[in-house]
Amino acid sequence: MNHNHAAEHRPPTSALVIGALGVVFGDIGTSPIYSLKECFTGHHGVPSSPENVLGVMSLIFWTLMLIVTVKYLVFVMKADRNGEGGILALLSLAVEKIGIDTKARAILLLTGVAGAALLFGDGIITPAISVLSAVEGLNVITPVFKPYIVPLTMAILIGLFSVQRAGSEKVGRWFGPITVVWFVAIAVGGIRWILKDPAVLTCINPRYAIELFTHGGTKAFFVLGGVFLVVTGGEALYADMGHFGVNPIRIGWFGLVFPSLFLNYLGQGALLRVMGRDNPDLMRTEDFSPFFSLFPSWALIPMVILAAAATVIASQALITGTYSLTLQAIQLGYLPRLGIRHTSAHTRGQIYIPTINWMLMIACLVLVQAFGSSTALAAAYGIAVTLTMMVTTVLFFFAARYQWGWDLNQALPIVVIAFTIEGAFFAANALKIMDGGWLPLAVGAVLFTLMTTWCTGRNLVRKSLDRGTFDQDELIESLKNSDRLIRVQGTAVFMSANSHRAPNALMHNMKHNKVLHERVIFMTIVTDDHPFVSPSKQVELVELAPGFWRLSGHYGFLQEPNVPQLMRRAKHYYDFDCNPEQVTFFLGRETIVPSKERGMALWRETLFAFLSRVAEPPGTYFRLPEGRVVELGMRVAI
């Protein structure tokens, strides 16, 4: 495994651990605010009897152990793509050794895209439920704050999304230390109540979880939907692996995060057992929060403030993660080009996508206003995450089998155990579909449709354009003896999606203008299946004939193409003098014409035509110099 891209100027391990605490564990670290409460409230909660509390605590412990510790930290994080993780990186590993035209590859690609689409749904719900649950802590102090919970939550979210344009580099320096304080505080809060009921520690015995299912009936199965909330955010450990490395994440988990989380859950369980002896209906009390009740009255306001900060950090991690996922999808050809802004000159991956930012903000505000409480939102949370985790399990199996050559007896037991556990969680969460669980599924379905429509549409456009062009070598041969074209001074760069076909812009230029520049460069930007491509391997230059060159730019799916920079690298590595400020760039501008005769369904072709119109212009996306671009329009029927 090549980790060179991540190892450049990598800070010390201690600094990486602190950074990981602020980014990687933000989502899972704020789950205690609302997770345990959902196990004992709502339509599917179990009664908070001492026996049920031990059973739920046992389920929480073994869920954290099996899903986060064993599945992700031990096995899935082995599946890195040049040090990078995430569902699209895993997808590239899973399909790499499978035949290009096979049905298995096509099914895996659709499965991976579906998982990525569901992650967008998670990105909408997480900021809303996290911030809302933290602000609800004000209700524990006094009911006077209740009318202001939703407006205050919306104000915090508006502020959070509004500062995204400035970038998170400076703010990020505070994330780690604040999160450390958070984990220490929740651990101390838990210990305080564990000392009052040490018997809660016996929950690590799986017997209590088994007894809960044995005697709890269908309610015990339903409670899995609440238990699963403790591992939402587990996917982030794998997705953010490339930023910090495997070891800092593992050190952070075992050294602070897992002990703090479990101590807090134990404390909440002990509190329910102690307080429940005198008040069996404790969990039915409106606005009761087992999390905030852990702390003495003098600490409530500081904890509410700290919880709000922690949930903002968790939301920030999800927002930036959504930006990264969008960039990957664009580069891999599953989403149209969008305006991307770099917010740091020093840190790779610090990006801001305005369109995604404002869409996320509007969606979060609508959710907070529509659902009104974290309990109501919790019904919509979990089902998309379970499906994403199941997709990760499937992709991991194919990566293990075909990328690493694992024997079936090695790979199958791991996958079967993980899939069975996650399948049970999905079944329990599926019961929440009518209560709001349909929301992330609907978001995922819409994004899956957009992604597959864009990918299929681009392939149809490419095939349609290729039918009207020649092979580059054939075209050059035919031009050698042609006296119908006037050769003019200067350099023309024709950009094309196909590295071996003559660009349509060139064909149109010759047809209508009857001229050809003395030096012609065919340029193609290629997105490789790797996250990053080193500068020395990004540029590939071939002289096809006197005056004709083919320049290919290779980028990873976590990199943005930069044509002027690519041309400067061609000078550095090939001594090819080509100043981007002194050449003319010719681009094809296609107008999509939906047709009933071929291609996709007419409504999908209409959708693709709309997406093509709203996509960022290629000149802007490829960072071509202003005033040096000529666009030649053409109508393409699909």
Q: Per-residue DSSP letters for 492-534?
A: EEEE-SSSSBPPHHHHHHHHHH-EEEEEEEEEEEEE-SSS---
- 84 or 449, greater pLDDT: 449
Average pLDDT taken over every residue of the chain: 85
- 160 or 2, greater pLDDT: 160
Q: Is pLDDT above 60 for 584?
A: yes
Q: Buried b vs exposed e over 73-104: b needs ≥16 C-beta within 10 Å? A: bebbbebbbbbbbbbbbbbbbbbeebeeeeee
What is the band of 286 on the pLDDT scale with cuts at 50, 70, 90?
low
Q: Is pLDDT above 60 for 622?
A: yes
pLDDT of residue 21: 83
For 385-398, what is each residue's pLDDT tens digit? 899 999 999 999 99
Positions of CATH 1.20.1740 in the chain: 4-436
What is the band of 15 on the pLDDT scale with cuts at 50, 70, 90?
confident
Angle subtended at Cα 330 by Cα 326 and Cα 334, rounded to the nearest 5 degrees? 100
Q: Is pLDDT above 80 for 281?
A: no
Q: Is pLDDT above 60 for 585?
A: yes
Query: Do residues 524 and 496 lie in contact, with contact meaning Cβ atoms separated by under 8 Å?
Result: yes
What is the band of 62 on the pLDDT scale with cuts at 50, 70, 90?
very high
Nearest CA to 121 out of 485, 379, 442, 466 is that of 442
pLDDT of residue 18: 83
pLDDT of residue 101: 66
In DSSP terms, which residues pair with 464 in a beta bridge? none
In DSSP terms, which residues pair with 520 in a beta bridge? 492, 548
What is the band of 100 on the pLDDT scale with cuts at 50, 70, 90?
low
What proportion of the chain, given as a percentage, has pLDDT over 90?
Answer: 29
DSSP string, 223-285: THHHHGGGGTTHHHHHHTHHHH-HHHHHHHIIIIIHHHHHHHHHHHHHHHHHHHTT-TTGGGS
Query: In whole angstroms, what is the distance from residue 279 CA to residue 195 CA?
Result: 20
4-436 adopts what CATH topology? Amino acid/polyamine transporter I (1.20.1740)
What proportion of the chain, given as a percentage, has pLDDT over 70?
Answer: 93
What is the band of 620 on the pLDDT scale with cuts at 50, 70, 90?
confident
Q: Is pLDDT above 80 for 221?
A: yes
- Among 242-256, 274-288, 324-338, where is mean pLDDT lowest? 274-288
| SS3 at position 564 | helix
**What does the block give as tokens for 553?**
């730019």
- Among 11-15, 294-298, 370-374, 614-618, where is mean pLDDT lowest? 11-15
Mean pLDDT of 379-407: 88
**What does the block give as tokens for 53?**
């509390």
For 121-171, what is each residue's pLDDT tens digit? 877 888 888 889 888 888 877 788 888 899 999 999 998 888 887 765 555
Q: Is pLDDT above 50 for 3?
A: no
Query: In whole angstroms, what is the distance from residue 312 CA to residue 314 CA?
Result: 5
**What does the block give as tokens for 224?**
């899995």
pLDDT of residue 73: 92
- Among 105-109, 264-268, 447-451, where is mean pLDDT lowest? 105-109
What is the band of 99 on the pLDDT scale with cuts at 50, 70, 90?
low
For 411-426, what is each residue's pLDDT tens digit? 899 999 999 999 999 9
Q: Is pLDDT above 80 for 284?
A: no
Q: Is pLDDT above 80 for 47?
A: yes
Tokens 């050294």 -> residue: 255
pLDDT of residue 482: 65
Query: Do residues 187 and 31 lie in contact, with contact meaning Cβ atoms separated by under 8 Å?
Result: no
Q: What's this model's pTM, rounded to 2 decimal places?
A: 0.81
pLDDT of residue 6: 41
CA distances from 525 to 517, 561, 618, 621 (A): 22, 7, 11, 12
Query: Do residues 432 and 382 lie in contact, with contact meaning Cβ atoms separated by under 8 Å?
Result: yes
What is the band of 7 on the pLDDT scale with cuts at 50, 70, 90?
very low
Q: Is pLDDT above 50 for 519?
A: yes
pLDDT of residue 395: 92
Q: Is pLDDT above 80 for 300?
A: yes
Q: Is pLDDT above 60 for 9?
A: no
Query: In whole angstroms, what is the distance from residue 434 CA to residue 544 CA?
Result: 62
pLDDT of residue 348: 55
Q: How many CB atoms lie within 10 A of CB 148?
A: 12
What is the band of 467 on the pLDDT scale with cuts at 50, 70, 90?
confident
What is the band of 11 on the pLDDT scale with cuts at 50, 70, 90?
low
Mean pLDDT of 188-211: 94
